[in-house]
Amino acid sequence: MSGQGVLTALRARGVDAHAFDPAAQPMDELKRQGFDRCFIALHGRYGEDGTVQGALELLGIPYTGAGVMACSMAIDKVMTKRVWLAEGLPTPRYVLLHRGDFTREQVRAIPDDLGLPLIVKPVREGSSLGVTKVTGYSEMQQAVDAAAALDADILCEQFIAGDEVTCPVMGEGADARALPVIHIVAPEGNYDFQNKYYTDVTEYRVPCDLPAGEEAAIQALVLKAYRVLGCRGWGRLDVMIDAATRQPYLLEINTSPGMTSHSLVPMAAKAAGTDYETLCLQLLAGASLDYPPAPEARA
């Protein structure tokens, strides 16, 4: 859905754009067919984990979004947390489990450390797949098993009760800028796969209803979080605001955000005065390589 939306938008603006599915064609066909650049509209493993990005680096074809290292770190929620914590950025406390390397007693004891409720999720998944909110000790094993079905590494994370917000970022380095913050209000706080993509019951408040000072603080936080991971092009960072302290906590970053009718980056861009087609053009214009070919030596 993201790819079709982007393709239609680029063609509407006169770009000689074509659909290309790496599941159906070998990647080197991009070179053979003479494409100048790629707009990556792939999500999850192989799409935003540095794999496709690495292939495009080898082919020498500029692409949208973050580079190989930033993507490979950002897809891994625990590696992302380690970087953020090393830089002094706030993120919920966590326990990492490795599939097959823990006992039922160890799993059951995790709430003693993180408290209840808590969140269990696969380390390298998106779209809320495999995510469980655990409210009692007896639910821990089933939640861990559900996450382990999707990933060898399982993240058990402190639950932050409060407002759920997200903030897109565009650009690179000192030129990166944060778009308006979106306040996500899902039914009973359940922003799951169904409510993200297939229902209209989730409310998205943009401009958000947070105090101006809080929105500015979140924008400053996500910009730093984006920069320390070495991201470029664009991204979207998810944040929870503790209801009691109003402290924001970074959850994760998406380096290939959705571009569907329900997607949040186009929503924030529109609030900032940029329509969908213009957004697609801006992202495409920023396509680049980690290692651009060296210029030919002058005679």
299 band by pLDDT with thresholds 50, 70 and 90: very low
| Interval 223-268: pLDDT, tens | 999 999 999 999 999 999 999 999 999 999 999 999 987 899 999 9
Q: Are residues 269 and 203 in the same domain?
A: yes
| Interval 141-153: pLDDT, tens | 999 999 999 999 9
Q: What is the dihedral of CA 139, 141, 143, 145, to 10 degrees?
A: -160
- Asked if residue 297 belongs to a domain, the reply is no
Q: Are residues 143 and 211 in the same domain?
A: no
Rounded Cα distance between 183 and 206, Å, is 7
* pLDDT mean over 275-295: 93
298 band by pLDDT with thresholds 50, 70 and 90: very low
202 band by pLDDT with thresholds 50, 70 and 90: confident
- Of 72, 123, 131, the closest CA to residue 256 belongs to 72
Q: Give the residue numbers spanning the domain of 287.
A: 1-88+160-291
Longest CA pairwise span in the chain (Å)? 73
Query: What percent of the chain lies above the pLDDT cut of 90?
Result: 87
Q: Are residues 111 and 79 in the same domain?
A: no
* Tokens standing for residue 245: 């302290």
Q: Is 37 left (phi over 0), alpha (psi -120 to 50) or beta?
A: beta
Q: Which of 116, 138, 158 is at the close of a domain?
A: 158
For residue 206, pLDDT over 50 is answered with yes
Q: Which of 105, 140, 158 is at the close of a domain?
A: 158
For residue 76, pLDDT over 60 is answered with yes
Q: Within 13 Å of residue 98, how many CA atoms lie on the same side as its CB?
A: 1
Cβ neighbours of residue 214 closer than 8 Å, sequence gap 6 or more? 241, 246, 248
For residue 128, pLDDT over 90 is answered with no
Q: What's 125's domain CATH number?
A: 3.30.1490.20
- Of 42, 52, 66, the closest CA to residue 255 belongs to 66
* pLDDT mean over 40-52: 94
Check residue 101 and give its pLDDT: 92
Grouping H, G, I as helix, E, B as strand and the rest as coil, residue 177 is: strand
Cα angle for residues 224, 227, 231 (degrees, 5° grid): 140
For residue 116, pLDDT over 90 is answered with yes
* pLDDT mean over 70-89: 98
**Beta strands 118-122 and 132-134, pairing class:** antiparallel
Q: What's 2's domain CATH number?
A: 3.30.470.20
Q: Are residues 148 and 182 in the same domain?
A: no
Check residue 194 and give its pLDDT: 55
Mean pLDDT of the chain, nearest integer:
93
* pLDDT mean over 46-54: 95
* pLDDT mean over 214-225: 98
